[in-house]
Structure 1
């Protein structure tokens, strides 16, 4: 069993084609990828940049949910990724996988929309607004 990293928050990247409703419902719809995997894919603050660039490089915007680990820790397993990954805090690390059929308003502390515009995700991730929101 993998050692549990010391984190305060974990993050869910949500594709812009499925924006989370405002206000958040008790249970958000699961992505097709999460349904196929049998768990909800999450990332730590250190893993967000790599996850974003690996899976969402060309997306102009992304919704990001911040979730206090205390709200979900009983249903989280820290596991190796099922696809090869490298760089930006992703390689040689375990990821938080939420084994629950529900993630919603009771668990999610806040939601932000990050817009890449004409720049890169690195540029967005380097802004003070994102740096101060993305808490370990």
Structure 2
């Protein structure tokens, strides 16, 4: 599937707890990402629905904000292009989501890590496209 047009400036990885600080070259994969063989990512418009569906019991989450161009170029780890690292847009149930294959997230491709808090629902969350 093709990327949204125009493509997002950022993609987000939802974490249930704070990532290490400072970020390492490579963050450990979640069990879900290990099992599926790619890193699950969301656009700013998808994060609220994903958080509401999969993280509804949490009152705070951490988000990794990643420049889309960085991942689209295959940048992995400490700013190095990794052969085979790529974003694929794939249809999953309720939409088309970005999946990062053959790469890792870490200080070389995560622009920012920040905490978000749940209001009455995660669907109220607004993020930068």
TM interval, shorter chain, is 0.7 to 0.9
The TM-score, its normalising length taken from structure 1, stands at: 0.78
Q: CA RMSD in A?
A: 1.4
By percentage of residues, which structure has more helix?
1
Report the Cα distance in structure 1 between the residues aligned to 2:118 and 2:96, rounded to whole angstroms: 27
The equivalent residue for 2:8 is: 7
Distance 1:68 1:101 in 2: 15
| Separation (CA, whole Å) in 1 of partners of 2:54 and 2:123 | 14
Q: TM-score, normalised by structure 2?
A: 0.82
After superposing on structure 2, the runs of 4+ consecutive aligned residues of structure 1 that deviate more than 6 Å are none
Give the secondary-structure state (helix, strand or coil) at the position aligned to 2:32: helix
Query: 1:135 deviation in Å?
Result: 1.4
In the other structure, the counterpart of 2:105 is: 103
Partner of 2:89: 78
Q: Which runs of no fewer than 5 residues in structure 1 stay unpaired? A: 85-90, 126-130
User: Number of residues paired by the alignment?
Assistant: 115
Shift of 1:116: 2.4
Larger deviation, residues 71-80 vs 30-39: 71-80
Partner secondary structure for residue 80 of structure 1: strand
The structural deviation recorded for 1:60 is 1.7
Structure 2 residue matching 1:28: 3-state secondary structure: coil
Deviation per CA, 1:22-52: give whole Å up to 9, x if none.
1100100100000000000000011111101
**Between structures 1 and 2, the one with greater strand share:** 2
CA deviation string 1:71-130 (max 9, x = no partner): 11141000012xx4xxxxxx3x2100000341100100011111227x33245x1xxxxx
Work out whether residues 52 and 121 of structure 2, in 8 Å CA contact, stay in contact via their aligned partners in 1.
no
Distance across 2 between alignment mates of 1:103 and 1:35: 13
Q: Which residue of structure 2 aligns with residue 23 of structure 1?
A: 22
